[in-house]
Amino acid sequence: MMVVENTYTPYYNHIVYSYPSDVRRLWKQGKVLMLDIRTPQEYVAHHVPGSVLIPMDYLEELSHYFSDKEVAVICEHGNRAYYATFGMPHLYRRRAYYLAGGLQAWMYMGYEVVRGLDEGAKVWKELLNSQSVRSRA
């Protein structure tokens, strides 16, 4: 029996389709930035500890924040994250991991989540206060 851990797309070799166990291992090793692309309200409800909030509507505008890092792109069910990784591959200069199943799969596996605002949301608040983003908000 063969176990598939990661799959790569032939079109974008810097994007990896990954499962929660693989993403969690990389996150625990400090190899990826957890990029939460949900809304601020969803982030407050529950998120991965230490993840950075940048809602999907602002990804292109704020890609300079994460373009030099390896990121795991996460959302609630995986749909937005799929679009944000495979539909916008130009945003990632380094490797991007798509979290299959999103936070629902993450929580189903029993992995850690926290509630409320934390350091990851502070990044979002600082970006909201910047002139380029304030005009859209």
77 contacts 102 by C-beta, under 8 angstroms? yes
Between 65 and 137, whose confidence is greater? 65
CB atoms within 10 A of CB 99: 27
Residue 1 has pLDDT above 70, yes or no: no
The mean per-residue pLDDT over the stretch 73-83 comes to: 96
Amino acid 122: pLDDT:
84
* pLDDT mean across residues, the chain: 87
Percentage of residues of the chain with pLDDT beyond 90:
64
Amino acid 136: pLDDT:
54
Domain architecture of the chain: domains with CATH: 6-134 (3.40.250.10)
The one-character DSSP state at 56 is: G
Amino acid 3: pLDDT:
45
The mean per-residue pLDDT over the stretch 52-61 comes to: 92
CA angle at 97 for the pair 99 and 104, rounded to the nearest 5°: 10
Amino acid 16: pLDDT:
92
In the chain, the amino acid numbered 45 is A
pLDDT class for 120, splitting at 50, 70, 90?
A: confident
